Amino acid sequence: MERKTKVDAEKGRHDLIVTREFDLPLDLLFKAYTEPELIEQWMGTKVLKLDNKKDGGWHFQTSYDGKVVFEANGAYHEFIPEQKIIRTLEMHNAPFGVTLEFLDFEKLTDDTSKLTMHVVYRSAAHRDENLKLPFSYGINMAHDQLEKVVSKLKQK
Amino acid sequence: MGIRRDVFQAIADPTRRAIITLVAMQAMTPGAIAENFNSSRQTISKHIQILTECELLKQEQTGREIYYHINAKKMKEVADFIEPFRNMWDDRFNKLEDVMKKFKPKK
């Protein structure tokens, strides 16, 4: 089951759309976004705050070895169960600023559902910074891998 | 040196990224490239060699001079930021699906 997740990011635009179809009924898909214990499992982050309502706030934080490695927070602007979430998001120390996210949850069949995530950035440049993030991570990984290989060679 | 052909390693270096940016604007001789840096010509020539081995740069002989051009095809491959981004979300959503499938029986 490859290519279930699609990213539509047209060049020069300040937004992007991520869509995904799930082998999950709509209520379970929505639950994954509203229960702190579940978010902690699939996002791998600690949920410090999660007010599931309009005007509510949310705050996630991930620590590793006592250091904060990921932190993000924002506010809900709309919260309609099993339909729609509109929220802002700011990832701390990230180069792409505050984003506005429109999450649409749709029922496909009794057992399948679809999520459409429309993310709006301040500018096209900000959006591209976010797109590059996992890419640079890939570079670092390649770099680490290389260092491992080289250090092994040195041992010989 | 198979490792050298890793494109990601090639562009992880700031000097090499600067060389790519320069050559992207116009084809240049090794000497002209080196003039833009404080490093020695040998150092820059080593960077150029790595970029050529990675196929990010192409050599072309014009008269007595060698000119370096950008290899657009290879650069496009590297510049495709969307695929790693898509993979990140795909992994994340796969996890969500797994977590929620296990959650099901408890309902």
Return the CATH number at A110.
3.30.530.20
> B46: distance to nearest CA of chain A, Å?
18
Q: Span B28-57, mean pLDDT?
A: 93
Locate the domains of chain B by residue range. 2-80
CB environment A53-82: b (16+ within 10 A), e (fewer): eeeeebebbeeeeeeeebbbbbebeebeeb
pLDDT given at position A3: 59
Q: In 3-state terms, chain B is what percent helix, strand and coil (to 5)?
A: 65, 10, 20
List of chain A residues whose C-beta atoms are within 8 Å of the C-beta of residue B103: 28, 31, 38
Q: Is the ipTM value over 0.90, yes or no? A: no
What residue has token string 């096209």?
A: A124
Q: SS3 for B37?
A: coil
Answer yes or no: do B11 and A139 touch at CB < 8 A.
yes
Domain with A150 in it: 5-155
CA distance A111 to B92: 20
Whether the CB of A118 is below 8 Å from some CB of chain B: the reply is: no
List of chain A residues whose C-beta atoms are within 8 Å of the C-beta of residue B89: 5, 7, 18, 20
pLDDT digits (tens, 9 = 90+) for A24-41: 999 999 999 999 999 999
Q: Where are the beta strands (DSSP E) in A1-155?
A: 5-8, 15-22, 46-50, 57-64, 67-80, 84-91, 98-107, 113-120
pLDDT given at position A65: 82
User: Under CATH, what is the fold of the domain B2-80?
Assistant: Arc Repressor Mutant, subunit A (1.10.10)
Give the closest residue to A134 by CA, choosing from B95, B6, B10, B89: B89
Give the closest residue to A90 by CA, choosing from A117, A71, A114, A105: A71
- Which residues lie below 8 Å from residue A36, measured CB to CB, with a gap of 6+? A47, A50
Answer yes or no: do A4 and B95 touch at CB < 8 A.
no
pLDDT given at position B1: 40
Domain count, chain A: 1
Whole-prediction pTM: 0.65
Among A134, A140, A149, select the one facing B85 at the smallest CB separation.
A134
Among B85, B88, B99, select the one facing A38 at the smallest CB separation.
B99
Computed over every residue of chain A, the mean pLDDT equals 87
- Which residues lie below 8 Å from residue A21, measured CB to CB, with a gap of 6+? A4, A108, A112, A113, A114
CA distance B1 to A42: 40
Share of chain A above pLDDT 90, in %: 64
Q: SS3 for A4?
A: coil
Beta-ladder partners of A111 = none
> A30: distance to nearest CA of chain B, Å?
10
* The pLDDT of residue A141 is above 90: no
List of chain A residues whose C-beta atoms are within 8 Å of the C-beta of residue B84: 134-135, 137-138
List of chain B residues whose C-beta atoms are within 8 Å of the C-beta of residue A118: none
Answer yes or no: do B100 and A38 touch at CB < 8 A.
yes
pLDDT given at position A143: 52
Whether the CB of A29 is below 8 Å from some CB of chain B: the reply is: yes
